[in-house]
Amino acid sequence: VTSQHHHEPASNQQGRRTRKRISKRQADGGHDVATGAYNAAGLQGRQFGTFGRYENECLAEWMAAHFLAHSPHGNASVVELGCGIGNYARYMASRGFAWVDCSDGNPTIARASRGLCKTRNLVQPQHDLPRGDFAYSLEVGEHIPQQFMTQYLDNLDRANRRGLVLSWSNSQCAKTGEGQHVNCLPIDAVVAMMKARGYTHEERPQKSARASMSKCPNHAVWLASTLMVFSRDGPASRAK
């Protein structure tokens, strides 16, 4: 009896390994678990131009009013890091800001946001980030693997001159698993990190921002317990 062995071509083996890696990285409910960024599947059920259950239009109104009121020249510029499908940035663009820049790690964000936002890897230094008067980053930090947290915070520093609005969840945490947060932090820990970077925790505006969200019930209501507001102490220093 002659035994014949079939040898799979090396190119097929490599392709199979690549597909396996991609499948593993994207298994987290539409996330790239290596970076925390959404992929196309992560935007299912969201619609550009319409605030859904994952966004809060009343918070968008509050942020726009806050940024404009605290701009020394009346028409602030603003940067969003981790823009989801782009609805917050779209709202900002409708409010007369000098300019709005929005980005996300999702490779499909330019198409999903109809050209408004661009793809940036937020866990790597982004030296091309424009520096706005203000920045905001909502529901991002808890998805960033801990080993990349410094790079993410450095990018936040690069993005603003005067302050930022930030959320960071401390719930639904796990190392792996679909839809899980991999880097949950309590509010006190985030506040301490930001103070070490030269920010002041603005509790009165934070209380106002959280209260504003109740006017839009059933829309990202969880942000009312994780949202923080910071102002910058002194001149902004460019992160390396």
| pLDDT tens sequence across 87-114 | 999 999 999 999 999 999 999 999 999 9
Contact indicator for 224, 213 with CB cutoff of 8 Å: yes
Greater confidence, 16 or 221?
A: 221
User: Of 119, 182, 115, whose CA–CA distance to 149 is shortest?
Assistant: 182
User: CA-CA distance, 173 to 76, in Å (whole number)?
Assistant: 36
Residue type, 69: A
Contact indicator for 230, 166 with CB cutoff of 8 Å: yes
User: CA-CA distance, 94 to 117, in Å (whole number)?
Assistant: 15
Mean pLDDT along residues 225-237: 85
Contacts for 57 with CB less than 8 Å, ≥ 6 apart: 51, 91, 216, 219
Q: Which pLDDT score is estimated for 2?
A: 38
pLDDT over threshold 80, residue 69: yes
Q: Which of 71-75, 178-182, 225-229, 231-235 shows the lowest mean pLDDT across its residues?
A: 178-182
pLDDT over threshold 50, residue 6: no
User: CA-CA distance, 77 to 160, in Å (whole number)?
Assistant: 9
pLDDT over threshold 80, residue 44: no
Q: What structural domains and CATH numbers belong to the chain?
A: 40-232 (3.40.50.150)
How many beta carbons lie within 10 A of that of residue 140, not counting itself? 25
Q: What per-residue string of b and e applies to 59-77 under the rule 16 or more CB within 10 Å gives b?
A: bbebbbebbbeebeeeebb
User: Of 101, 92, 155, whose CA–CA distance to 126 is shortest?
Assistant: 155
CA distance from start to end of the chain: 68
Helix (H, G, I), strand (E, B) or coil at 85: coil
Q: Count CA atoms closer than 13 A to 205's CA, side-chain side.
A: 20
| pLDDT tens sequence across 209-219 | 999 999 999 99
- Tell me the pLDDT of the chain averaged across its residues: 85
